[in-house]
Amino acid sequence: MKNKDWIVAYASAIGNLHIKENLPCQDACAIKNLGAGWGVAVVADGAGSCEYADKGAAHAVNLAIQHFANLVYRNKWIEKNSLPTEEEWARLSLENFKLIKDDLFIFSEQKEIVFESLSCTLIVLVYSTIGVLLAHVGDGRAGYMDAGEEWKPLLTPFKGEEANQTIFITSDFEKSIGSKVVTGQIAAFCLLSDGCEKSAFECNLYDRERNLYYDPNRPFPKFFNPNILALKQLYQQNKSQDEINTLWQGFLEGGNTHLKNEPDDKTLILGVKL
Protein backbone atom coordinates (compact mmCIF):
# COMPACT_ATOMS: atom_id res chain seq x y z
CA MET A 1 0.00 0.00 0.00
CA LYS A 2 1.47 3.34 -1.04
CA ASN A 3 1.33 6.58 0.88
CA LYS A 4 3.82 9.36 1.49
CA ASP A 5 5.59 7.34 4.21
CA TRP A 6 5.42 3.64 3.24
CA ILE A 7 5.22 1.28 0.32
CA VAL A 8 3.85 -2.15 1.30
CA ALA A 9 3.64 -5.27 -0.87
CA TYR A 10 1.37 -8.10 0.28
CA ALA A 11 0.15 -11.35 -1.25
CA SER A 12 -0.59 -15.01 -0.61
CA ALA A 13 0.33 -17.85 -2.98
CA ILE A 14 -0.85 -21.44 -2.90
CA GLY A 15 1.70 -24.12 -2.04
CA ASN A 16 2.56 -27.11 -4.23
CA LEU A 17 0.94 -29.64 -1.88
CA HIS A 18 -2.39 -27.83 -1.99
CA ILE A 19 -2.18 -27.65 -5.79
CA LYS A 20 -1.60 -31.40 -5.99
CA GLU A 21 -4.43 -32.14 -3.53
CA ASN A 22 -6.79 -29.65 -5.21
CA LEU A 23 -7.17 -27.64 -2.01
CA PRO A 24 -7.58 -23.85 -1.72
CA CYS A 25 -4.90 -21.52 -0.40
CA GLN A 26 -5.41 -21.42 3.37
CA ASP A 27 -3.30 -18.30 3.98
CA ALA A 28 -4.65 -14.76 4.01
CA CYS A 29 -3.29 -11.24 4.49
CA ALA A 30 -4.41 -7.62 4.40
CA ILE A 31 -3.24 -4.04 4.92
CA LYS A 32 -5.11 -0.94 6.06
CA ASN A 33 -3.64 2.53 5.72
CA LEU A 34 -4.67 4.61 8.75
CA GLY A 35 -3.10 7.85 7.52
CA ALA A 36 -0.20 9.98 8.79
CA GLY A 37 2.25 7.13 8.22
CA TRP A 38 0.29 4.63 10.33
CA GLY A 39 -1.19 1.31 9.23
CA VAL A 40 -2.18 -2.21 10.20
CA ALA A 41 -0.78 -5.36 8.56
CA VAL A 42 -2.17 -8.85 9.22
CA VAL A 43 -1.21 -12.40 8.24
CA ALA A 44 -3.18 -15.58 9.00
CA ASP A 45 -2.25 -19.19 8.26
CA GLY A 46 -5.13 -21.65 8.25
CA ALA A 47 -4.65 -25.04 9.90
CA GLY A 48 -4.10 -27.54 7.09
CA SER A 49 -6.14 -30.26 8.78
CA CYS A 50 -9.27 -28.09 9.17
CA GLU A 51 -12.06 -28.13 6.58
CA TYR A 52 -12.74 -24.39 6.52
CA ALA A 53 -9.28 -23.09 7.41
CA ASP A 54 -9.26 -20.90 4.31
CA LYS A 55 -12.47 -19.18 5.40
CA GLY A 56 -11.18 -18.90 8.98
CA ALA A 57 -7.94 -17.22 7.87
CA ALA A 58 -9.70 -14.80 5.54
CA HIS A 59 -12.32 -13.81 8.11
CA ALA A 60 -9.80 -13.56 10.96
CA VAL A 61 -7.68 -11.18 8.86
CA ASN A 62 -10.67 -8.92 8.18
CA LEU A 63 -11.66 -8.95 11.85
CA ALA A 64 -8.12 -8.15 12.96
CA ILE A 65 -7.89 -5.20 10.56
CA GLN A 66 -11.18 -3.88 11.90
CA HIS A 67 -10.47 -4.31 15.62
CA PHE A 68 -6.88 -3.06 15.60
CA ALA A 69 -7.64 -0.07 13.37
CA ASN A 70 -10.41 0.87 15.80
CA LEU A 71 -7.98 0.39 18.67
CA VAL A 72 -5.53 2.89 17.16
CA TYR A 73 -8.26 5.43 16.46
CA ARG A 74 -9.93 4.98 19.86
CA ASN A 75 -6.71 5.58 21.77
CA LYS A 76 -5.77 8.52 19.52
CA TRP A 77 -2.21 7.28 19.12
CA ILE A 78 -1.91 9.03 15.75
CA GLU A 79 -2.99 12.40 17.15
CA LYS A 80 -0.79 11.96 20.22
CA ASN A 81 2.09 10.61 18.11
CA SER A 82 2.74 7.99 20.79
CA LEU A 83 2.80 4.23 21.31
CA PRO A 84 1.52 2.28 24.32
CA THR A 85 3.86 0.73 26.88
CA GLU A 86 4.74 -2.97 26.69
CA GLU A 87 2.30 -3.67 29.52
CA GLU A 88 -0.53 -1.68 27.93
CA TRP A 89 0.02 -3.26 24.54
CA ALA A 90 0.04 -6.79 25.99
CA ARG A 91 -3.30 -6.13 27.70
CA LEU A 92 -4.87 -4.50 24.63
CA SER A 93 -3.59 -7.25 22.32
CA LEU A 94 -5.17 -9.92 24.49
CA GLU A 95 -8.47 -8.02 24.68
CA ASN A 96 -8.67 -7.59 20.92
CA PHE A 97 -7.63 -11.15 20.09
CA LYS A 98 -10.47 -12.30 22.37
CA LEU A 99 -12.85 -10.05 20.40
CA ILE A 100 -11.62 -11.60 17.15
CA LYS A 101 -12.18 -15.09 18.58
CA ASP A 102 -15.70 -14.14 19.72
CA ASP A 103 -16.57 -12.69 16.32
CA LEU A 104 -15.15 -15.75 14.59
CA PHE A 105 -17.40 -17.94 16.75
CA ILE A 106 -20.43 -15.86 15.72
CA PHE A 107 -19.37 -16.32 12.08
CA SER A 108 -19.23 -20.10 12.58
CA GLU A 109 -22.76 -20.10 14.00
CA GLN A 110 -24.07 -17.97 11.15
CA LYS A 111 -22.52 -20.33 8.58
CA GLU A 112 -23.52 -23.41 10.63
CA ILE A 113 -20.01 -24.85 10.65
CA VAL A 114 -17.84 -26.21 13.46
CA PHE A 115 -15.89 -23.39 15.13
CA GLU A 116 -12.62 -25.38 15.25
CA SER A 117 -12.83 -25.93 11.48
CA LEU A 118 -11.91 -22.22 11.10
CA SER A 119 -8.60 -22.63 12.97
CA CYS A 120 -5.74 -20.36 11.96
CA THR A 121 -2.71 -18.57 13.35
CA LEU A 122 -2.72 -14.76 13.42
CA ILE A 123 -0.04 -12.06 13.29
CA VAL A 124 -0.94 -8.37 13.64
CA LEU A 125 1.45 -5.45 13.17
CA VAL A 126 0.62 -1.79 13.76
CA TYR A 127 3.29 0.23 11.99
CA SER A 128 4.02 3.94 12.26
CA THR A 129 6.73 6.54 11.79
CA ILE A 130 7.71 6.18 15.48
CA GLY A 131 7.83 2.39 15.84
CA VAL A 132 5.81 -0.80 15.55
CA LEU A 133 3.45 -2.90 17.69
CA LEU A 134 3.33 -6.67 17.18
CA ALA A 135 0.88 -9.27 18.51
CA HIS A 136 0.52 -12.90 17.48
CA VAL A 137 -0.98 -16.30 18.20
CA GLY A 138 0.82 -19.33 16.78
CA ASP A 139 3.75 -19.59 14.39
CA GLY A 140 4.95 -17.63 11.39
CA ARG A 141 7.66 -14.97 11.45
CA ALA A 142 7.99 -11.20 11.67
CA GLY A 143 10.89 -8.81 11.73
CA TYR A 144 12.06 -5.28 11.13
CA MET A 145 15.04 -3.32 9.87
CA ASP A 146 16.15 -0.58 12.26
CA ALA A 147 17.57 2.83 11.35
CA GLY A 148 21.05 1.29 11.25
CA GLU A 149 19.85 -1.15 8.55
CA GLU A 150 20.10 -4.16 10.87
CA TRP A 151 17.38 -6.79 10.62
CA LYS A 152 15.89 -8.11 13.87
CA PRO A 153 13.09 -10.58 14.73
CA LEU A 154 9.78 -9.38 16.15
CA LEU A 155 8.32 -12.65 17.41
CA THR A 156 9.24 -16.16 18.50
CA PRO A 157 6.91 -18.63 16.76
CA PHE A 158 4.94 -20.88 19.08
CA LYS A 159 5.99 -24.51 18.52
CA GLY A 160 4.32 -27.44 20.24
CA GLU A 161 5.97 -30.65 21.35
CA GLU A 162 4.97 -32.46 18.14
CA ALA A 163 6.18 -31.62 14.64
CA ASN A 164 4.17 -28.87 12.92
CA GLN A 165 2.16 -28.30 16.11
CA THR A 166 1.18 -24.75 17.04
CA ILE A 167 -1.73 -22.85 18.58
CA PHE A 168 -4.69 -21.18 16.87
CA ILE A 169 -7.05 -18.25 17.41
CA THR A 170 -9.88 -20.77 17.93
CA SER A 171 -8.09 -22.42 20.90
CA ASP A 172 -7.31 -21.37 24.47
CA PHE A 173 -4.50 -19.05 23.41
CA GLU A 174 -4.60 -16.61 26.33
CA LYS A 175 -1.35 -17.82 27.93
CA SER A 176 0.43 -18.20 24.60
CA ILE A 177 -0.21 -14.83 22.94
CA GLY A 178 2.94 -12.87 22.14
CA SER A 179 3.32 -9.09 22.00
CA LYS A 180 6.12 -6.61 21.42
CA VAL A 181 6.65 -2.85 21.23
CA VAL A 182 9.56 -1.37 19.26
CA THR A 183 10.03 2.39 19.44
CA GLY A 184 12.18 4.48 17.15
CA GLN A 185 12.74 4.79 13.41
CA ILE A 186 11.93 1.65 11.43
CA ALA A 187 13.31 1.30 7.89
CA ALA A 188 11.28 -1.80 6.92
CA PHE A 189 9.15 -4.59 8.37
CA CYS A 190 8.03 -8.07 7.34
CA LEU A 191 5.29 -10.54 8.30
CA LEU A 192 5.14 -14.04 6.86
CA SER A 193 3.52 -17.43 7.19
CA ASP A 194 5.82 -20.38 7.77
CA GLY A 195 5.69 -21.29 4.08
CA CYS A 196 8.11 -18.41 3.42
CA GLU A 197 10.45 -18.88 6.36
CA LYS A 198 12.98 -21.12 4.59
CA SER A 199 13.56 -18.35 2.05
CA ALA A 200 13.32 -15.30 4.26
CA PHE A 201 14.68 -16.31 7.68
CA GLU A 202 17.65 -18.14 9.18
CA CYS A 203 15.61 -20.67 11.07
CA ASN A 204 16.94 -24.19 10.61
CA LEU A 205 20.74 -24.20 10.81
CA TYR A 206 22.98 -27.17 11.63
CA ASP A 207 25.54 -26.94 14.44
CA ARG A 208 28.28 -29.47 13.63
CA GLU A 209 29.90 -29.25 17.03
CA ARG A 210 26.68 -30.02 18.91
CA ASN A 211 25.28 -32.24 16.13
CA LEU A 212 21.86 -30.58 16.14
CA TYR A 213 19.68 -28.14 14.27
CA TYR A 214 18.82 -24.78 15.86
CA ASP A 215 16.67 -21.75 15.10
CA PRO A 216 18.47 -18.35 15.13
CA ASN A 217 15.17 -16.68 14.11
CA ARG A 218 16.94 -13.99 12.08
CA PRO A 219 15.51 -12.20 9.04
CA PHE A 220 17.81 -12.92 6.10
CA PRO A 221 19.24 -9.63 4.73
CA LYS A 222 20.23 -11.19 1.39
CA PHE A 223 16.56 -12.00 0.84
CA PHE A 224 14.98 -8.79 2.08
CA ASN A 225 17.41 -6.05 1.04
CA PRO A 226 17.15 -6.67 -2.74
CA ASN A 227 13.35 -6.74 -2.39
CA ILE A 228 13.43 -3.41 -0.55
CA LEU A 229 15.30 -1.88 -3.50
CA ALA A 230 12.83 -3.49 -5.93
CA LEU A 231 9.83 -2.04 -4.07
CA LYS A 232 11.36 1.42 -4.08
CA GLN A 233 11.90 1.13 -7.84
CA LEU A 234 8.27 0.10 -8.34
CA TYR A 235 7.20 3.12 -6.32
CA GLN A 236 9.36 5.40 -8.47
CA GLN A 237 7.76 3.85 -11.56
CA ASN A 238 4.33 4.85 -10.18
CA LYS A 239 3.10 1.27 -10.13
CA SER A 240 -0.36 0.86 -8.65
CA GLN A 241 -0.99 -1.23 -5.55
CA ASP A 242 -2.63 -3.93 -7.66
CA GLU A 243 0.37 -4.03 -9.99
CA ILE A 244 2.77 -4.27 -7.06
CA ASN A 245 0.79 -7.08 -5.44
CA THR A 246 0.50 -9.00 -8.71
CA LEU A 247 4.27 -8.86 -9.16
CA TRP A 248 4.72 -9.80 -5.50
CA GLN A 249 2.46 -12.83 -5.82
CA GLY A 250 4.43 -13.95 -8.86
CA PHE A 251 7.61 -13.67 -6.82
CA LEU A 252 6.11 -15.79 -4.03
CA GLU A 253 5.07 -18.41 -6.58
CA GLY A 254 8.55 -18.87 -8.02
CA GLY A 255 11.01 -16.12 -7.16
CA ASN A 256 13.65 -18.56 -5.92
CA THR A 257 14.13 -22.31 -5.55
CA HIS A 258 12.70 -22.49 -2.02
CA LEU A 259 9.57 -20.55 -2.95
CA LYS A 260 9.06 -22.48 -6.19
CA ASN A 261 9.30 -25.88 -4.47
CA GLU A 262 7.54 -24.98 -1.20
CA PRO A 263 4.69 -27.42 -0.43
CA ASP A 264 2.99 -25.07 2.05
CA ASP A 265 1.02 -21.91 1.24
CA LYS A 266 3.11 -18.75 1.22
CA THR A 267 2.24 -15.29 2.53
CA LEU A 268 4.60 -12.36 2.88
CA ILE A 269 4.04 -8.70 3.68
CA LEU A 270 6.99 -6.34 3.20
CA GLY A 271 6.75 -2.70 4.21
CA VAL A 272 9.41 -0.16 3.30
CA LYS A 273 9.81 3.36 4.69
CA LEU A 274 10.16 5.93 1.93
Asked if residue 39 is part of any domain, the answer here is yes
Nearest by Cα to 135 from 151, 145, 122: 122
Query: Which tens digit of pLDDT belongs to each residue from 218-256?
Result: 999 999 999 999 999 999 999 999 999 999 999 999 999
Domain enclosing residue 263, as ranges: 6-273
User: 3-class DSSP state for residue 212?
Assistant: strand
Does the residue 180 lie in any domain?
yes
Asked if residue 102 belongs to a domain, the reply is yes
Amino acid at the residue 20: K
- 15 falls within a domain: yes
pLDDT tens for 162-199 read 545 689 999 999 999 999 999 999 999 999 999 999 99
**Which one, of 155, 153, 163, 117, lies nearest residue 136 by Cα?**
155
- The answer to whether residue 146 sits within a structural domain is yes
Task: Flag whether 50 is in a domain.
Answer: yes
Residue 195: closest CA among 269, 250, 122, 266: 266
CATH of the domain at 176: 3.60.40.10
Instruction: Output the pLDDT for position 27.
Output: 98
Query: pTM here?
Result: 0.95
What is the number of domains present in the chain?
A: 1
Burial (CB count within 10 angstroms: exposed 0-12, middle 13-18, buried 19+), residue 244: buried
1 within a domain of the structure (yes/no): no
